[in-house]
Amino acid sequence: MERGLHAVPQRKASAEGNFYPIKANAIGPGMNARIQRLRKLSVETEPSLSIERALHETAFYKENYGKYSIPVLRALNFLDHCQKKTLYIGDDELIVGERGPRPRSVPTFPELTCHSVDDFHVLNSRDQQRYTISDEDIATYAREVIPYWQGRTVRERIFAHVPDEWRAAYEAGVFTEFMEQRAPGHTALDGQIYRKGMLDFKRQIAAELAALDYLSDVEATDKAEELKAMDISCDAVILFAERHAELAEALAASEAVLQRRAELQKVAAVCRRVPAHAPRTFHEAIQMYWFVHLGTITELNGWDAMNPGHFDQHLAPFYAAEVAAGALSREQAKELLCCFWIKVNNHPAPPKVGITARESGTYNDFTNINIGGINSDGKDGVSDVSYLMLEVVEELHILQPGCSVHVSSKTPERFLKAACKVIRQGHGYPSVFNPDVYTVELLRQGKTLKDAREGGCSGCIEVGAFGKEAFVLTGYLNVPKILEITLNNGVDPLTGKQVGIETGDARSYTSYEQLYGAFLDQLNFFVDTKVRVSNYIDRMFAKYAPAPFLSVVIEDCISKGRDYYDGGPRYNTNYIQCTGLGTTTDSLSALKKHVFEEQSFSMERFLAAIARNFAGEEVLRQTIVNKTPFFGNDDDTADDIALQIFADLLAAIDGKPNVKGESFHLNMLSTTCHIYFGKMTGATPNGRLAGKSISDGTSPSHGADTHGPSAVIRSLTKLDHTMSGGTLLNQRFLPSLLKRDEDVARLAQLIRSYFTLGGHHIQFNVVDTATLKAAQNAPEDYRDLLVRMAGYSDYFNDMNADLQQEVIERTENESF
C-alpha cells in the first residue's frame, strides 16, 4: 500500500519519481552510464495508457465467451495476450519485459471496470498523475471496447447488488471499497519460484488432475477446470519468455557493437531458461521473478502490483555461489539489481475510472521490497545482497519499488545503521518493520511458526504469510466520520442524509459513556454493512475473475485445485483498514474534558461551532487545540481513550467470518486515504477544520504530538500491535536532528526502543523546506516541529516569521 507520502505536502506528478534536482552529472544518478540512461528514460517518460490488452481481450471474449469454463476462459485470454502482445527490449536493458508495449505504458482491464471516454479525457489532461492517450486510441476504445463491456464488468455487477445503506455510507465517505476497480492483491511471493520452473508446476498440476476423484469429490469438476486453467497460464508465461528470447536473438543478429551483441545473446539465453525452468544464476533469478511479476500484473490488476517478498534472502544463495565461483562480481550484481529496480519504476499503477482530482492518488503501485529481517528458521536474514539493495535504493532515488527494512532483535547494528543513513537522505524511505512483532501477529491469526516467520509487509504496512496467503484489503474505514455521524444522530451533516442508525440527540447525553456507547453502535452498524458487501465481492471475483496464473505461484492453490480468489491459498484473510485513530481519540478527549468533566463548554455549543466550521468560535477551537490531552504525548488521559477505541475496533472487526472459512482482521493503515476521508468529513471536535486530513494510520493527529518522538513511541506502544495486522507510525524529523553520525546512531536506537516496546512499523519523513513553508501557512498542523540545535531548541511555530525564514534557509542549505 501507499507509503508515507502523506505526511509531507503532496507533490506534483512531475516531482514524483525524481525527488531531487540532479546535480551529479548530465544524465542523472546511477552507478554507471547504462543505469543512468535507463533511469533517465524511466523517470522522464510520461505515463501513458495502452489499449492493446483491452483490444485483445475484447476480441477474445467476443469470440470465446461461453465456450469454456470461466477459469479456462481467463487462462486462454491470458495466453492469447501473451502470444500477441507487443514486446519491448530497450537499449541497455539486461532485465527485460514490460506490461505495456513500452516503458511507463499501462494497459486497462475492462473486464473489471471499463474506462469511459470522459475518464480518458480526464486522465489525459489533469495536472497530477496524468496518463496520456491519443484521440485515435480513445476513438478505437469507444468503438471496439466500451460497447462490449457495458453491463458485463465486475464493477457493474457489484454496484447492481449493493444495498442502499452500503451505498449511502460509501458515498458519504464512511468507508472505501478496494475491489470495485481493482482485483484483490497485496500478494507477495515466497522462495518457491527460485526452486521450481513453470514446467515443474505443470507436472504438479498434471499429478493433481490425474488424482481427482470424480466419484466422491463433489468439487472435482470445478477443480479440474481450475487446474487446466493453471496449466494453460504456465504455458502463457513460458511463451511470453520465449518470444523475448527470439526478439533478443534477432536484435543480437543485427547489433554491430560486440559487447551489446553478447549482452543480447545472454538475455536470450536467460529467457530460454526462465521461467520454464528454475533459475541457476543471479541474473536468471531476477529475470524469473520479473516474468512472474509481469504475468500476475498482466493477468489482472491486483492491488499493490506484486511483491517479491524477501528478495534479498531469495537472491543471496545465487549471489554467494556465483561470487565464490568468480562468475559474478559485486558490481555486476548491483547493476542487475538496478536494472530490476528501474523495471519496477517503469510500471505506474493502472489508473482508476470516474476519477476526480480529489481521489487521484499516485503513480506508485506499491511493490515493496523487504530487506533484512529473519528467515523461516528465525535466523537473521541479512546478507551481502541486503547491503547491495540499500546502496541501490540510496543511489537511484526512484518512486518505485518501495522498500522496507526489517529489524529484528537479531539484526546486526551495522545493517540498521546503513538503513538509517538512507533514511537520513530524506526521501521518506525505507520504512522500518519489526519482524519480532509481526511474526506474533501472524501466529495469532493461525499461521504456523515457519510460515509466520517467512511473512513480511506486502505494500504499505499490512503483513501476510508470503507465498501462502491471500490477504485481501477490503477498504478503509473513516472512524472520525463515524463519530461525526454519531454526533448527528445518524445523519451525515455534509449532505443531510440519514446514513447511520438513530442513536439519539447528542445534546441529550448526560455522560461521556452514553456518547461513547452511541459511537460504538454506529461503528458496529457500519462495519457490518461493509462486511456484507465485501463477502459478496469476494464471491464475484472467485466466480467471474479468477486468477489462475497467480494461483500457480501461491502455495496450496494447486493441491487444493482452487483459485487464489476462492480460498486456494493456505491462508485467506480479509482486512478492514481503520483510519483516523488520532483524530477520533482527540475528538473524544475534547468532548470528555470540556463537555462532560469540566463542563466549560456545552455539547450544544460544540455542535453549533462544528456546524459552522468553528467560524466565530476561535476561543473554543484554540482552547480545544491547546488545552486538551491529545494522543501521542504519553499522556494516559488521552492514550486510554485510544486504547478503548482500538479494543472496540478489534471487537467489531476481528474474527468476523469471511467467505473462505477464515476471518476478517483489522489493520491501522491509511495510505493517502486520510486525505480523501478528511475532505469527506466536516469539522471535528478536536478543533480540526472541515476538509482537512484526518490522522494517518496510528500516528498522532497532525501536530498533536508536542513532546517529541520518544513520547509518541510511548503512546503508540500502549496499543498491543500484535492484535492487528499492522499499524503505521509516521514521524517527522527536521534535518537538524540527523546531522551528525551520532544522531544517526540515536535514530537507530530510537527504532530499537520502539521495537523493543512492541512497535510494528515506523517511518521517518525528514522534512524539507516545502514542509516548513506549509507549516508557516498551517501552523496548527505542525505543532510537533521542534527546531533543535546544540544548546537551543524551540518549536517552529513559536518562532517569529523572520526566524522561521532563517530556519527554512538553513534547511535548504543543510547548514544546521
20-28, 131-139, 665-673, 790-798 -> range binding another protein (CB under 8 A): 790-798
Please identify which residue in 611, 708, 718, 774 interacts with another protein, judged by CB under 8 A. 708
Q: Does 799 bind another protein (CB under 8 A)?
A: yes
- Residue of 447, 349, 362 lying closest to 8 (CA atoms): 362
Q: Is the dihedral of CA 314, 315, 319, 322 positive or negative?
A: positive
Residue 402 and residue 344 in contact, taking contact as beta carbons nearer than 8 Å: no
Q: Does 420 bind another protein (CB under 8 A)?
A: no
User: C-alpha cell of 18?
Assistant: 525524481
Question: Nearest 5 degrees, angle CA 440-CA 749-CA 697?
Answer: 55
Residue among 150 and 813 whose Cβ is closer to another protein: 813
Q: Does 215 bind another protein (CB under 8 A)?
A: no
Phi, psi of 154 (to 5 degrees): -60, -40
Q: Does 626 bind another protein (CB under 8 A)?
A: yes
Q: Does 711 bind another protein (CB under 8 A)?
A: yes
Q: Is the dihedral of CA 139, 144, 145, 150 positive or negative?
A: positive
Letter for the amino acid at 583?
Answer: T
Q: Which of 338, 460, 578, 673 is catalytic?
A: 460
Q: Per residue in 2-30, is it b (16+ CB within 10 Å) or e — as a string?
A: bbbbbbbebeebeebbbbeeeeeeeebbb
Residue among 486 and 797 whose Cβ is closer to another protein: 797
175-183, 255-263, 297-305, 751-759 -> range binding another protein (CB under 8 A): 751-759
| DSSP structural state of residue 188 | B
Q: Does 612 bind another protein (CB under 8 A)?
A: no
The C-alpha atoms of residue 467 and residue 786 are separated, in whole angstroms, by 43
The nearest distance, CB 720 to another protein, in angstroms, is 16
Please identify which residue in 750, 772, 775, 808 interacts with another protein, judged by CB under 8 A. 750
Answer whether the bond into residue 107 is a cis peptide, omega within 30°.
Answer: no
- Number of residues binding to another protein, judged by CB under 8 A: 44
Q: Does 749 bind another protein (CB under 8 A)?
A: yes
The C-alpha atoms of residue 693 and residue 623 are separated, in whole angstroms, by 20
Interactions with another protein, residue window 258-277 (CB under 8 A): none
Please identify which residue in 34, 261, 707, 718 interacts with another protein, judged by CB under 8 A. 707
456-464, 472-480, 588-596, 798-806 -> range binding another protein (CB under 8 A): 798-806
Q: Which of 462, 484, 617, 662 is catalytic?
A: 462
The nearest distance, CB 581 to another protein, in angstroms, is 21
- The runs of H, that is alpha helices, within 346-448 are 384-396, 413-424, 435-444
Q: Is the dihedral of CA 211, 214, 219, 220 positive or negative?
A: positive
196-204, 250-258, 269-277, 616-624 -> range binding another protein (CB under 8 A): 616-624
Q: Does 642 bind another protein (CB under 8 A)?
A: no
The C-alpha atoms of residue 105 and residue 344 are separated, in whole angstroms, by 12
Residue among 611 and 789 whose Cβ is closer to another protein: 789
Is 462 designated active site? yes
Phi, psi of 280 (to 5 degrees): -115, -20
| DSSP structural state of residue 630 | -
Tracing cell 526462465 back to the chain, one arrives at: 274
Q: Is 657 helix (H, G, I), strand (E, B) or coil?
A: strand
- H or E element: which one contains 487? helix 479-487
Residue among 151 and 792 whose Cβ is closer to another protein: 792
Q: Does 740 bind another protein (CB under 8 A)?
A: yes
Instruction: Assign residue 18 a region (left: φ > 0; alpha: ψ between -120 and 50; beta: otherwise).
Output: beta
Contacts of range 776-785, beta carbons closer than 8 Å, 24 or more positions apart:
776/801, 776/804, 780/625, 780/687, 780/703, 781/692, 781/702, 781/703, 782/702, 782/703, 782/732, 783/703, 783/704, 783/706, 784/700, 784/703, 784/704, 784/705, 784/706, 784/732, 785/703, 785/732, 785/734
Interactions with another protein, residue window 124-153 (CB under 8 A): none
Q: Does 34 bind another protein (CB under 8 A)?
A: no
Q: Does 789 bind another protein (CB under 8 A)?
A: yes
Is 460 designated active site? yes
Q: Does 792 bind another protein (CB under 8 A)?
A: yes
The nearest distance, CB 382 to another protein, in angstroms, is 19
Residue among 2 and 634 whose Cβ is closer to another protein: 634
Residue 209 and residue 234 in contact, taking contact as beta carbons nearer than 8 Å: no
Please identify which residue in 26, 218, 325, 790 interacts with another protein, judged by CB under 8 A. 790
- Residue of 610, 582, 601, 593 lying closest to 512 (CA atoms): 593
The nearest distance, CB 806 to another protein, in angstroms, is 6
Q: Please list the residues that pair with 573 across neighbouring strands.
A: 471
375-383, 425-433, 495-503, 747-755 -> range binding another protein (CB under 8 A): 747-755
The C-alpha atoms of residue 766 and residue 734 are separated, in whole angstroms, by 6
Q: Does 643 bind another protein (CB under 8 A)?
A: no
404-412, 526-534, 618-626, 657-665 -> range binding another protein (CB under 8 A): 618-626
Rg (CA), the chain: 26
Residue among 128 and 753 whose Cβ is closer to another protein: 753
35-43, 137-145, 277-285, 740-748 -> range binding another protein (CB under 8 A): 740-748
Residue among 510 and 813 whose Cβ is closer to another protein: 813
Residue among 464 and 758 whose Cβ is closer to another protein: 758
The nearest distance, CB 371 to another protein, in angstroms, is 22
Q: Does 320 bind another protein (CB under 8 A)?
A: no
Q: Does 354 bind another protein (CB under 8 A)?
A: no
Please identify which residue in 688, 807, 808, 811 interacts with another protein, judged by CB under 8 A. 807
The C-alpha atoms of residue 596 and residue 588 are separated, in whole angstroms, by 11
Q: Does 627 bind another protein (CB under 8 A)?
A: yes
The C-alpha atoms of residue 80 and residue 774 are separated, in whole angstroms, by 51
281-289, 298-306, 678-686, 789-797 -> range binding another protein (CB under 8 A): 789-797
Question: Nearest 5 degrees, angle CA 193-CA 199-CA 200?
Answer: 60
Residue among 511 and 710 whose Cβ is closer to another protein: 710
Residue among 86 and 626 whose Cβ is closer to another protein: 626
Interactions with another protein, residue window 713-732 (CB under 8 A): 714
User: C-alpha cell of 438?
Assistant: 509481526
Q: Does 756 bind another protein (CB under 8 A)?
A: yes
Q: Does 791 bind another protein (CB under 8 A)?
A: yes
56-64, 66-74, 159-167, 621-629 -> range binding another protein (CB under 8 A): 621-629
The nearest distance, CB 728 to another protein, in angstroms, is 20
The C-alpha atoms of residue 489 and residue 485 are separated, in whole angstroms, by 6
Please identify which residue in 331, 618, 812, 814 interacts with another protein, judged by CB under 8 A. 618
The nearest distance, CB 453 to another protein, in angstroms, is 24
- Residue of 788, 783, 809, 808 lying closest to 798 (CA atoms): 783
- Residue of 781, 778, 690, 685 lying closest to 732 (CA atoms): 781
Please identify which residue in 222, 746, 769, 774 interacts with another protein, judged by CB under 8 A. 746
Q: Does 743 bind another protein (CB under 8 A)?
A: yes
State how far the alpha carbon of 578 is from the alpha carbons of 127, 654, 704, in Å. 30, 12, 19
The nearest distance, CB 426 to another protein, in angstroms, is 18
Q: Does 788 bind another protein (CB under 8 A)?
A: yes
The residues binding another protein (CB under 8 A) are: 618-623, 626-627, 634, 707-711, 714, 737, 739-740, 742-743, 745-746, 749-750, 752-753, 756-757, 787-794, 798-801, 803, 806-807, 815
Which sequence positions are flagged as catalytic? 460, 462
